[in-house]
Structure 1
Amino acid sequence: MVLVSIFGGNRKEVLKQAVGFVPLWAVIIALLFNIFHLQYGYVIETTLNYLGQSTIPLIMISLGLTLDFKEIKHSFTDSLFVAFVKLILAPIIIFLILNAINFGGLSFKVAILEAGMATAMNALVLAITYDLDTKLMSSIIFTNTVLSLITLTGIITLLV
């Protein structure tokens, strides 16, 4: 959201959108349910499961609609730079930080693996919402996703 406000959004509008950001409220409500051991009924659980199962296909369709292979060729160097930072440099930095503070175990491995994940699809949603460069963002997501098949395999091999 900070980058959106810098590169293309009205700061007031971005702040308003951040407060109304549904995933943020979902995390807050989930934490409250967890802390106070609240139960929700079958209907709510079933509805949330159905909605959750439809999310990935809808996001993939929106990526496919914005993907332009000619644009991937034009923004290939930018996409490779972002891929290097996100898929290689970020896990190395997290590895060094966690080693420095003697953090270990399964949480250590999960943190490094998460740091090396491809760029999230919500970046494309933000680009579409705030009228940013959607062609570049879809190119970055596509390139990161393809290259993450190699880098994540390498990270998992090193962590095991």
Structure 2
Amino acid sequence: MGNLFLIIIFLAIGVLLQSLKMLPSSSAKYLNNYLIYIVLPTLSFRFIPDTVIDSTLLMPISTAWISFGLSWSLFGTLGKVYLWDRSLTGCLIITAGLANTSFVGFPIVNALYGEEALKTALIIDQAGSFIIVSSIAIIVASIYSKEKKRKRDVSKQILTFPPFISFVLAIMMNLLSLHLPAQLDFAFEMIGQTLTPVALIAVGLQLKVNFQALKSTYLWLGLGFKLVLAPMVIYILYGIILKADGLIFEVSVIETAMAPMITGSIIAISHDLKPKLASLLVGVGIPLSFLSIGIWYWIVSL
């Protein structure tokens, strides 16, 4: 459970550095770029080539797609009905629709279920959340961004997005049974281990929480979807309708119940989709999710 405390510590370090103004104001941007251009591609090359692809993966993979599709449908509809600013709609779709299935999800799943469950968590993240954040989330961000872009520009942005390029290459390596040279294992592992501290510190540097912000209806609407509604849908669909049980079912629900994905918030921020709300959803969502995940863990264990 020590990993859970480290998550809180790194987030607190970012907030502290921001409050003490110990780093340049552009530090968060550089950290975000490091994650997108170096860390995320590295993770693809480390894990995807060795992933065994078969029909048993459909259930965990589908959780991320169902959650994001539901988010797009719900917030897209609410945005039209209540005439929300398009940047607000896009922010909620992306940030609330993507679960933090990796550097928050992995340590929590490991703490609750052990190393065997990490295989399922990895599938959910790599074949679900990671593909969405590398492609579909970019499309949504471009659609709802104030800066209108042509379809050709959107396609170019996706195809030149480093995590998406690395994912495609890693899938090709998997299909061709190719693997990274053993000499790169240590270096890639070290880079991958920087994901959690760098990402959480970057969020902390951008997090500005005040009493007025916590009263935001949109904050709690997004977190209500992410921490309650989305995992409830997966629980009902898989557990009650499909009668699934066991480790794959439980991990699928728990991973869906994770706080909003930091990478998703980075994409929203980089496209100027309500940056403060995107950062707040992650900053408030991560500590709050410890409580909600505990409740969902109790429910799926019944």
Indicate whether the TM-score tops 0.5: yes
Mapping for residues 22-37 of structure 1, pairs under 5 Å? 22-37=162-177
Equivalent residues of 1:71, 1:139 under 8 A apart: no
Task: Tell me which of 242, 267, 278 is aligned to 1:101.
Answer: 242
Partner of 2:209: 69
Letter in 2 for 1:81: L
> For structure 2, which runs of at least 5 residues remain unmatched after alignment?
1-137
Letter in 2 for 1:29: L
Partner of 1:154: 295
CA spacing shift, 1:23–1:80, aligned 2, 3 Å: same
Q: What is the CA distance between 1:26 and its match in structure 2?
A: 3.2
Larger CA deviation: 86-95 vs 72-81: 72-81
2:160 is the counterpart of 1:20? yes
Pick 1 or 2: higher relative contact order, CA cutoff 8 A, min separation 6. 2
Q: What is the CA distance between 1:124 and its match in structure 2?
A: 2.1
Larger CA deviation: 19-28 vs 93-102: 19-28
Partner of 2:97: none
Equivalent residues of 1:4, 1:130 under 8 A apart: yes
2:277 is the counterpart of 1:136? yes
2:143 is the counterpart of 1:6? yes
Partner of 2:186: 46
2:243 alignment partner, SS class: coil
- How many pairs align? 160
Using the alignment, how far apart are the partners of 1:26 and 1:113 within structure 2?
Answer: 27
Letter in 2 for 1:115: T
2:199 is the counterpart of 1:59? yes
Letter in 2 for 1:7: Y
Larger CA deviation: 73-82 vs 43-52: 73-82
CA spacing shift, 1:105–1:30, aligned 2, 3 Å: farther
Using the alignment, how far apart are the partners of 2:160 and 2:233 within structure 1?
Answer: 32
Equivalent residues of 1:4, 1:14 under 8 A apart: no
> For structure 1, which runs of at least 5 residues remain unmatched after alignment?
none
Q: Deviations over 1:73-128 (max 9, x none)?
A: 26632111111111011111011111322333211111111111110001221123
Larger CA deviation: 18-27 vs 47-56: 18-27
Letter in 1 for 2:208: D
Q: What is the CA distance between 1:11 and its match in structure 2?
A: 4.5
Larger CA deviation: 141-150 vs 56-65: 56-65
Equivalent residues of 1:86, 1:116 under 8 A apart: yes
Equivalent residues of 1:68, 1:139 under 8 A apart: yes
Moved over 4 A (4+): none
Equivalent residues of 2:204, 2:283 under 8 A apart: no
Residue identity over aligned pairs, in percent, reads 26
Equivalent residues of 1:118, 1:148 under 8 A apart: yes
